Amino acid sequence: MWQFLDDSGVLDNGTDAEIKEVKREYRKLYLTKWKRDRRLNHPEFTISLNKDENELIALQAIKHNRSCTAYLKAAALAYTNKTYVVPNTDQLARLEQTLGAVYNSVDTIAQARQDTLFARERDFVQLKRIIERLEIQVSSALRNPLSIIKSNS
């Protein structure tokens, strides 16, 4: 801004009113450039909803712990990427942590029991594999929807 004021010459021989006017002009030019750059790098979309659609979106946004705008963005991107909008990411993270903790507990028990019968160790290894698969399946099922398009296999 100082460069703009200096280039205009008001700093040397301008009145307070002239300096204020040049500052307003600078601010106007700055905001115009900022808005142009913002539109270029962050496109916006405007949609219109009827009352029922608005209530539906608002209800789903509340269920997903998001604002309507954040929910609409997440839902549009999830639909495009063929994934789910996870309703409660904290709950999903806790579920994944619990499954991981169970897996780690079984692993610890299995390693502590290495001195015992070989068959028991195999049982623990098999249990670990089952829990690991369950963890992957639960995470995948909650994050990635089944496709509605049937393949011709």
Residues 6+ apart with CB under 8 A from 85: 64, 71, 74, 75, 78
User: For residues 110 and 22, what is the distance between their CA atoms, to the nearest angstrom?
Assistant: 77
Q: What are the residue ranges spanned by the domains of the chain?
A: 2-41, 48-85, 87-145
Tokens of 87: 């309703």
Check whether 151 has a pLDDT greater than 60.
Answer: no
Cβ(71)–Cβ(65) below 8 Å: no
Tokens of 118: 């070989």
> What distances in angstroms separate CA 40 from CA 8, 33, 53, 110, one per listed residue?
29, 11, 30, 58
Average pLDDT over residues 92-120: 72
Residue 75: what pLDDT?
92
Burial tier of 102 (Cβ tally within 10 Å: 0-12, 13-18, 19+): middle
The predicted-structure confidence for 117-150, as pLDDT tens digits, reads as follows: 555 667 777 778 888 888 887 777 676 655 544 4
User: For residues 34 and 37, what is the distance between their CA atoms, to the nearest angstrom?
Assistant: 5
